[in-house]
Amino acid sequence: MENKSKREVPEWKKEKVIEIRKLAEKYPTVAIIDLRGLPAKQLQLIRKKLKDKLAIKITKKILIKYAFKNSSQDRLKKFAEYVKGSPGLIFTNIDGFKLFKILKENKRSAPIKPGQESPKEIKVKKGPTPFSPGPVISDFGALGIKTSVEEGKINVVRDTTVLKKGEEASSVAASILSRLGIEPIKIGINLTYILEGDEICPAETFDIDVDEYIDNIKRAHLDSFKLATELGIINSETVIPLIKKSFNDAKTIAIECDILTPETIKNMILKSEAQAKALGGVVSK
């Protein structure tokens, strides 16, 4: 029996590589997701809910890299370098901003666990708590939280930072935050990198409120338009309003100076009538 120099690649791996490559070449937006800490049940719920908007594929990292590197598209060959950790893939026709927003909206809050890194700075706000005086006071003290007792309940004296971003939660911190109903952990699909067209961007690039961003642009445009009009700056946006303003200004001056023109004749007649009535009122006295 001859020894084979190379192990035969299982058929399912070949099929998976072909599937990944075809999807990546078909869709304009391809995203890498981080599966660490994501419960399988949560993944299935999101996949089912968003099946009409995107396709989620989970397979071995080495197969994803191989599929990208053997693609005919240069953008995918470059994207292979960003496949790290415990990755999954998303394929979609929607842009990066909408994709980030959709996945963000489909995350749920959860308490932080002991040993888990805090995703942000976490504070305990001043004010009353639901706790009666007891051993829990020492837990607050261990976290640097100053307390007092008011109306039979523990009261936090001032806002206190319990965890900094990236800091691991102690068992005491995790317990207190959970009992206070503070849930800083967001469970859902975490994007790492997004390939949109030929552009590769870190996922956080797309973490903006699109509606607010558009409103800001509209507001800035309106402010610029008003300023340009007031300063008499002529461009494609201000030329018509400035012509109208100049016409009205000229008309006002002409009326004040009793200059008769086709544009002012009506106003001049009305002005004369008003003056005649005023004069008639004086004479009749």
- 246 has a pLDDT exceeding 90: no
Average pLDDT, the chain: 88
The structure's pTM equals 0.63
**Measured between alpha carbons, how far is 135 from 175 in angstroms, rounded to an integer?**
13
The domains found in the chain, sorted by start residue, are: 11-107+188-208 (3.30.70.1730), 122-186 (3.90.105.20), 212-278 (no CATH)
Q: What is the pLDDT of residues 185-231, one digit of tens each?
A: 999 999 999 999 999 999 999 988 767 778 878 888 888 878 877 77
The strands making up 127-128's β-sheet, listed across from edge to edge, are 127-128, 153-156, 147-150
